[in-house]
Structure 1
């Protein structure tokens, strides 16, 4: 069960059934939705979502700044305002935004300012980019819960979603294309050790099937 289960009343209500001429009622199909998260290196934020039932796709990219069509090299300088991010397309009937938030929190260091693990700079900050008021309310509620749980301020930003710029192709699904290099980077960056320090057995988050 989600550790944020008590927040579920914030989620959307049951969809209104569509009326058809044959008088039968069928549930209106809910379209796919989008969530956007920044959690340091985007290579490491794709896998926790890709393994979830209900996640349609993940896309690495850049958002949160003003520069148009930024490149990886420009992002690396840390002066574009953008953060390395992942755009998650999901089916809300199979996985909820609250569950996506839970996965996000358990895969970041929420107390790090303008860095995540070994990667330093505003381009590696943690952030939740909300697409509507419901996402904003859930993000703020879970952030407040974490601050209460740890009795310290959470550095993760909560910002309105803006233009999302797709990263270069070689960054997409990097952990699948280059598994050895990915594991070497992740280990050397100390990501898993720090996640365990912060979250204990919850590090990495749940898998919803």
Structure 2
């Protein structure tokens, strides 16, 4: 009996050691990811752009920057809430850094435009970066200065304190890749959301303007 107990204790100790080593090599998924909040005009477009980046696990569309709690899409686009159409970018910092994301963000928008982005005008379509700590603010400011130097024009995109982020309803999430059909839209009848999105993006002139500003530095413009 004593030898059996010793065998069980030895096996248990070995198992605990293996589990401990495994935990060190494979930290919890949640601990490996961070979140970045930016506004770059239409959140469908920003979501589509950054979900293509290696190291980004998800981009969530929503609103931030205003005072109205739990705003609706219609309330925000109406222009009286102070909110921006924004996204939260969930990423793995071991694969893509915050500085790299800031760099790409400035080159995916028109940071010289204070009145909106591309064909979308008004306060809800303004660009901005939202930060929660001094390190993020410093990185954002450096990226902004680099963007201004590269363009040779004033960059007006503000760097603001992070505020509550309100996720928009599911209708607007992953719009760019949805196969749901729209009974009516400004770009056609009975078309898939993904098709309507492509027509909207082209018609709005987003990629054409970004390409004209940034040339080969534009990471997403086609």
Band the TM-score falls in, shorter-chain normalisation: 0.7 to 0.9
Q: Using a 3 Å threshold, how does the CA distance of structure 1 residues 81 and 198 change in structure 2: closer, same or farther?
A: same
Instruction: Name the residue aligned to 2:46.
Output: 45
Instruction: Name the residue aligned to 1:147.
Output: 148
Tell me, yes or no, if structure 1 residue 115 matches structure 2 residue 116: yes
Report the alpha carbon displacement of residue 58 of structure 1 after superposing the two structures with TM.
Answer: 0.7
Instruction: Name the residue aligned to 2:209.
Output: 194
For 1:186 and 1:205, the matched residues in 2 are separated by 12
Give secondary structure in 2 for the equivalent of 1:137: helix
For 1:195 and 1:64, the matched residues in 2 are separated by 24
Q: Which runs of 5+ in 2 are unaligned?
A: 1-16, 179-192
**Which structure has the larger Rg?**
2
Contact in 2 for aligned 1:48/1:103 (Cα 8 Å): no
For 1:58 and 1:168, the matched residues in 2 are separated by 14
For 1:33 and 1:172, the matched residues in 2 are separated by 20
Instruction: Name the residue aligned to 2:199.
Output: 184
- Counterparts of residues 44-193 of structure 1 (less than 5 Å): 44-177=45-178, 178-193=193-208
Once the two structures are overlaid, the 10-residue window that deviates more, 26-35 or 196-205, is: 26-35
CA RMSD of aligned residues (A): 2.2
Question: Between Structure 1 and Structure 2, which shows a larger proportion of helix residues?
Answer: 2
Contact in 1 for aligned 2:151/2:213 (Cα 8 Å): no
Q: Which runs of 5+ in 1 are unaligned?
A: 1-20
For 2:168 and 2:104, the matched residues in 1 are separated by 22
Aligned structure 1 segments of 4 or more residues deviating by more than 6 angstroms: none
Give secondary structure in 1 for the equivalent of 2:215: helix
For 1:50 and 1:72, the matched residues in 2 are separated by 22
Report the alpha carbon displacement of residue 205 of structure 1 after superposing the two structures with TM.
Answer: 4.6
